[in-house]
């Protein structure tokens, strides 16, 4: 499940690398892509958000969960509805 974090004080390519590397060490993370200009990092994988935040903190940066946009929320709702329909039809 993709997760987007807001990360403070990333000011160079090296900062992006440090944050990405820290996150990629977290169990369940498949990839991490930081954007210093937007102040965000996009994380692919299945892991606990607290583990991601702890990894960023340990790397020396502050982070919090970026709220989903309305379109992302709509997509998630559609995916959950399809999954529920599939599991109901399998029973």
pLDDT at 67: 81
The mean predicted confidence, pLDDT, of the chain is 84
* pTM beyond 0.85: no
The whole-angstrom separation of Cα 48 and Cα 56 is: 13
pLDDT at 80: 53
The whole-angstrom separation of Cα 41 and Cα 62 is: 12
What is the side-by-side order of every strand in the sheet holding 40-45?
29-35, 40-45, 3-8, 62-65
pLDDT above 70 for 78: no
The residues spanned by each domain of the chain are: 3-66
The whole-angstrom separation of Cα 64 and Cα 70 is: 18
Q: How confident is the model at residue 1 (pLDDT cuts 50, 70, 90)?
A: confident
pLDDT at 91: 52
pLDDT at 66: 86
Q: Using CB atoms within 10 A of its CB, is residue 42 exposed (0-12), middle (13-18) or buried (19+)?
A: middle
Highest mean pLDDT among 47-56, 61-70, 71-80: 47-56
CATH of 3-66, one of 3.40.50.300, 3.30.70.100, 3.40.50.800, 3.20.20.10: 3.30.70.100
pLDDT above 90 for 65: yes
């Amino acid at each position: 499940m993709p997760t987007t974090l807001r990360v403070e004080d990333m000011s160079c390519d090296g900062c992006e690398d440090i944050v990405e590397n820290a996150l990629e060490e977290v169990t369940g993370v498949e990839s991490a892509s930081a954007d210093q200009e937007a102040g965000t990092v996009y994380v692919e994988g299945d892991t606990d958000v607290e583990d991601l935040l702890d990894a960023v903190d340990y790397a020396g940066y502050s982070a919090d969960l970026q709220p989903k946009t309305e379109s992302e929320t709509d997509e998630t709702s559609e995916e959950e509805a399809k999954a529920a329909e599939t599991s109901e039809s399998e029973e």
